[in-house]
Amino acid sequence: MKVLVQRVLESKVEVDSKIVGQINKGFLLLVSFTYGDTSKEIDYMVDKILHLRIFDDENGVMNKSLLDIGGSILSVSQFTLYADTRKGRRPSYVNALNGETAKKLYDEFNQKLISSGIHIETGIFGTEMKVFLINDGPVTIMLEKESNSN
């Protein structure tokens, strides 16, 4: 499982020129799954994301979490995080989990974030989306958790 975390001042996602998700201060999450990912990887990621201390404290030091600042999350599915570009010029996506199984894990991931009490907005899985953001910092961090079966 991979999640690209972007600290944002605001972010939105559009489908067919309509806003389907929008937040102010918080995280834009680009989320991808691979073969062998389970609830165990999701639990790890949710905990890591909620407690990741990358917001500034009163001294300008990245020392506060999303929970500390009362931020929001915009979660967007992004299978291309598993692009393999080692050979040739066209990326291979063989490591990206198939749509039906990935959607189940993505829905579970979002439900666990929602159950934490954080305000969550999402894109629409499997659609062509336009994602807009104002990256704060910029701060962008890749989180990865390999399943034990890989």
Q: Which of 80, 101, 111, 127 is catalytic?
A: 80
Tell me if residue 22 is catalytic. Answer: no
Instruction: Give the residues across from 27 on adjacent strands.
Output: 7, 73
User: In which element (H, E) is residue 68 found?
Assistant: helix 66-69
- For the chain, the straight-line distance linking the first and the last C-alpha, in angstroms and rounded, comes to 11
Respond yes or no: is residue 79 known to be catalytic: yes
Active-site residue, from 55, 79, 109, 122: 79
- Planar angle of CA 147, 29, 111, nearest 5 degrees: 70
Would you say how long the chain is, in residues?
A: 150
78 as an active site residue: the answer is yes
27, 78, 109, 122: the active-site residue = 78
**Active-site residue set:** 78-80
